[in-house]
Amino acid sequence: MTTAPPILLISGWGATDRTWDALRGELPHSHVEVLAWNDALRDPLALPSRLASRPGPWLLVGWSLGAIVALEAAVECVFPLAGLVLIAGTARLCRDDGYPGVDPREVRAMQSRLARAPERVLGDFAARLATPDGDDAVRADYLDQAKQFSAADLALGLEALATRDLRHLVAKLAARTLLVHGDADGIVPLDSARELAARILGARLEVLPRRGHALPLTVPGELAGLIRSFAA
């Protein structure tokens, strides 16, 4: 019997370990750990140190900003990886020169407003995150998680989203890669995932119809099934 690889989960901006609770419950036979996105951004050694803490190879799973963190780590990783799963992920959030993405002015506006009206910024983001398939409970859950972070950490995450650009690195990626994306994602456009999948040799893109950005909160069971199949 093949041993399931240990899994390291990395959440998106404003999300805590709680984001993965339902999904973790669907992965009963795997060793599953969570790394906070703000810890990974503050300390470049946080992720490789976690991978070194237990024999691998590990399966890296990142959502949104966590997918950017996981992608960068996988490109630079000196440890063998069992694979990489990018949920609502992209190599670059902001669009430029024909690259599909978010208007960078939107991200800069969020950064500017964060210091003055953090609750409004988080509320607007939660509404977009939960559209179209999330309900009030999903929005409330995300907001409750986001309020656990300091203004400095939230600003750090927005700066990473505004500036990280991994497009030139992904051709070096050696790990097997699965991308999972909702076709109604209102934060990271599906075309960004298509662009990323085209740049990664052998990558597979799984598109979920009528799903938005909050996949770990809205379809944890479906995600877990895709991760189990990919890991096997």
| Cα diameter, the chain | 55
Residue 188 lies in a domain: yes
Q: What is the model's pLDDT at position 232?
A: 84
Residue 194, phi then psi, degrees to nearest 5: -60, -40
Residue 2 lies in a domain: no
User: What's the CATH code of the domain at 99?
Assistant: 3.40.50.1820
Residue 179 lies in a domain: yes
Q: Quick check: 115 and 107 in contact, CB under 8 A? A: no
Would you say residue 2 has pLDDT above 70? no
Cα(34)–Cα(196) distance, integer angstroms: 24
pLDDT tens, position by position, 174-225:
899 999 999 999 999 999 999 999 999 999 999 999 999 999 999 999 999 9
Tell me how far the alpha carbon of residue 189 is from its chain's centroid: 14
Classified as helix, coil or strand, 178 is strand
Residue 107 lies in a domain: yes
Tell which residue, 174, 217, 218, has the closest CA to residue 16: 217
Cα(165)–Cα(79) distance, integer angstroms: 23
The domain of 131 spans: 7-231
* pLDDT mean over 93-113: 92
Residue 11 lies in a domain: yes
Structurally, the chain folds into a number of domains equal to 1
Q: What is the model's pLDDT at position 226?
A: 97
Residue 143 lies in a domain: yes
Tell which residue, 135, 122, 165, has the closest CA to residue 14: 122
- Report the DSSP pairing between strands 32-35 and 58-63: unpaired
The DSSP H or E segment spanning 22 is helix 21-24
* pLDDT mean over 41-65: 93
Q: What is the model's pLDDT at position 1?
A: 47
Residue 176 lies in a domain: yes
Q: What is the model's pLDDT at position 54?
A: 85
Q: Quick check: 93 and 116 in contact, CB under 8 A? A: no
If pLDDT is split at 50, 70 and 90, which confidence band does 152 have? very high
Tell me how far the alpha carbon of residue 227 is from its chain's centroid: 14
Residue 192 lies in a domain: yes
* Region for 64 from its dihedrals, namely left if φ exceeds 0, alpha if ψ lies in -120 to 50, beta otherwise: left
